[in-house]
A and B are shown apart, each in its own frame.
Chain A
């Protein structure tokens, strides 16, 4: 792992993978999927945030980009270039790191109606999103 890896990235693939990961969020948190359960677990029902505005789309777009970029750096540094290898990288990053930090954060969350339900939905989203991103990045070098 060295900073020079940034010169070896396929930036178009990074952008496309970011959009796929972000776009999955619109489905994942839609009412017909996990949206209702997630809002209840978060304590949103009855008092949805006011005036959230563009930030509610902008922040996830930026965070999806950062996580996709990190995954692309790790894919390049580890020579990940097949679907199978992409899946392994996604398990390592999406479960090993992302799900771990979300789970331990939820463990200490005393204010949400169902903190671990919200963690499970979010950790599932990031794993699925990073899985799509990782496979795209592995195949499109």
Chain B
């Protein structure tokens, strides 16, 4: 694939897919979903981060945009143009890239109460979020 795909992207679809992926995070990490288990696994209940501020929203928004843009570039370069191909693309990126790098990082984490639970909840979020973004990008080219 080459950088010329940047000229063939549907930027409105990328923005909508980014927002969907980001917003899924608000649900995924809410107390009624995985939030409580995640905070316990992360060791946040013992020492929650201080004055996190706007970064707590700005950083995930930027990383969701970067990952969605990457997915859209591969989608355009591979001729992914329907919802099923888009979901498959999201799963290849999510299960194939996001999951292994988070899993192997968790393996070496010695400071958290439950590093693998922390990694599993995070990887699950990115897999579902990228599949959702892939579905939007595949359908709306």
B-binding residues in A (CB < 8 A)? 1-3, 42-44, 47-49, 55-56, 59-60, 62-64, 66-67, 69-71, 73-74, 77-80, 84-85, 88-89, 92-93, 95-105, 107-113, 122, 126
Question: A63 CA to B67 CA in the complex, in Å?
Answer: 19
Asked if A92 meets B105 with Cβ closer than 8 Å, knowing A67-B97, A70-B97, the reply is no
Question: Mind listing 24 A-B residue pairs with CB under 8 Å?
Answer: A1-B74, A1-B78, A1-B80, A1-B89, A1-B92, A42-B111, A56-B107, A59-B103, A60-B104, A62-B100, A64-B100, A73-B96, A74-B92, A78-B1, A78-B74, A88-B1, A88-B2, A89-B1, A93-B74, A96-B71, A100-B64, A102-B102, A107-B59, A110-B43
Q: Give the residue name and chain of the B residue nearest to A126 (CB).
A: B101
Q: Give the residue name and chain of the A residue nearest to B3 (CB).
A: A88
Chain A-chain B contacts (Cβ-Cβ < 8 Å), number? 160
Asked if A100 meets B110 with Cβ closer than 8 Å, knowing A1-B92, A73-B92, A122-B101, the reply is no
Question: A64 CA to B2 CA in the complex, in Å?
Answer: 24
Give the interface size class of chain B. Answer: 35 or more
Question: A110 CA to B85 CA in the complex, in Å?
Answer: 37
